[in-house]
Amino acid sequence: MNRRDLLKNLLIIPPGIFLGGLFTKILSLLKKTPLGKISLESIYEKYNPHEHYYAMGIDIDKCIGCGRCVEACKIENNVPQEPFFFRTWVERYVITVDGETKVDSPEGGIHGFPETLTEKEILRTFFVPKLCNHCDNPPCVQVCPVGATYKSIDGAVLVDKDYCIGCRYCIQACPYGARYLHPETHTADKCTFCYHRIVKGLQPACVEVCPTGARIFGEVKPRNNPLARFVRFNKIGVLKPYLNTDPKVYYANLDKEVT
């Protein structure tokens, strides 16, 4: 792009796109394209979102850092393969005897952790899988200026990629680094708990492929499901509880070093 083109683009593009968008929208509405009546049945068919409220449990002591969840997530959700975009990733914590804490997540842990992080003597070490916490009090939803990110009836925090303006305020507001700007759609993107799977009775992809059962998916309310048992028999921690985001990803055996 040479400078002249650039200047031309600058003068024309922002207002042009704005007016163009407005105009096409007006045209499409004038044509009265029937959007179809939207109701719970037309969206979910037989599934009733009012009967569910989802959450996830993660047992840190079971995670082996194989990165299968990261790979499955990228495949299932068409997350760009480049190592800058993750809906879920795995972190490795190594605390050495001299009190130093080292953390890494090479390519989100998608290829495991073949390299050693430190040559020093290890005091304790563990893997921590991370993903969107689907907060009950989500700061990302609060800051979205147009209502393009929202909490669904069954408790998943989702993004409307056809409505998001790409201002990235939600990415700034997320304390967990769980959001990114999708390089193709130019809209915010994040974990959906594999919403398209769970409404059909399947497990989220990361839970499906976890070989050690470190990830447990289930519901907050009913007592007879794996998550209810998980929160009953473990001491539970959440990430950054002092921010009052009310995360719905529950960690068992969470270490104080995890941020």
Partner 1 sequence: MEKSFERLAISLKEVAGFIYPNEIELHWSILIVVYPYITGLVAGAFILASLERVFNVKEVEPTYRLSLLTALAFLIVAPLPLVAHLGHPERAFEIFLTPNFRSAMAMFGFVYAWYLLVVLLVELWFEYRKDIVVWSKKEKGLKRIIYLVLTLGASDLSEKSLRFDKKAGKIITIIGVPSAFLLHGYVGFIFGSVKANPWWSSVLMPVVFLFSAIVSGIALMILLYMVITLFRKKPIEMSCIDKLASFLLYAMILDFSLENLDFIHRIYESEESIKILYQLLISKLFISMVVIQILLGTIVPMVLLAWTKLGHLPDELRRLIYFCSAILTLIGIFSIRWNVVIGGQLFSKSLRGLTTYKMELLGIEGLLVALFFLVLPFIILYILVALFPPWKEAEVKLET
Partner 2 sequence: MPQQIKYLFGLAIALIIIFFIVRHYLMSPSFGLFGHYRAASLKTVVSQEIKYAGEIACTECHDDIFTLKEKSYHRGVACEVCHSPAYAHTQDPSEHKPPAPRKRAYCPLCHGYNPTRPTGFPQIDPVTHNPGNPCISCHNPHDPTPPVTPQGCEPCHTQIARTKIVSPHAPLPCTQCHIAKEEHKLNPRVALPSKPRNREFCGQCHSQEAESSPEIPRVDMKSHYSGFLCWECHYPHHPEARLKKEE
- Residue 259 touches which member of partner 1, partner 2, none, C-beta under 5-8 Å by kind: partner 1
For residue 137, state whether it binds partner 1 (rule: CB under 8 A).
no
Q: Is 86 in the site for partner 1 (CB under 8 A)?
A: yes
User: Does 152 interact with partner 1 (rule: CB under 8 A)?
Assistant: no
147: contact with partner 1 by CB under 8 A: yes
At its nearest, how many Å lie between partner 1 and the CB of residue 221?
26
Indicate the residue among 3 and 235 with the shorter CB distance to partner 2. 235
Binding status of residue 173 toward partner 1 by CB under 8 A: yes
How many residues does this entry show for the chain? 259
- Residue pair 92/105 in contact (Cβ under 8 Å)? The answer is yes
Q: Compose the 192-221 pattern: x for residues touching partner 2 by CB under 8 A, - for all others.
A: x--xxx-xx-xx-x--xx-xxx--------
Strand order in the sheet with 101-104: 101-104, 88-96, 122-131
Residue 129: both structure tokens together: 């899988």
Which of partner 1, partner 2, none has residue 95 at its interface (CB below 5 to 8 Å by kind)?
none
Residue 208 token pair = 């499906």
CB 146 within 8 A of CB 170: no
Round to whole Å and give the CA distance between 4 and 114.
49
Contact letters for partner 2, residues 65-94 (x by CB under 8 A): xxxx---x--xxx--------------xxx
Quick check: 192 binds partner 1 (CB under 8 A)? no
- Burial environment of residue 195 by CB neighbours within 10 A (0 to 12, 13 to 18, 19 or more): middle
Q: Is 229 in the site for partner 2 (CB under 8 A)?
A: no
Total of residues contacting partner 1 (CB under 8 A):
61
Looking at 6, 153, 166, 222, which residue binds partner 2 (CB under 8 A)? 153
Tell me which residues in 91-120 interact with partner 1 (CB under 8 A).
91, 101-105, 107-108
User: Which residues of this protein are in contact with partner 1, per CB under 8 A?
Assistant: 1, 3, 6-7, 9-10, 13-14, 17-18, 20-22, 82-86, 89, 91, 101-105, 107-108, 130, 139, 142-148, 163-169, 171-181, 183-187, 243, 259
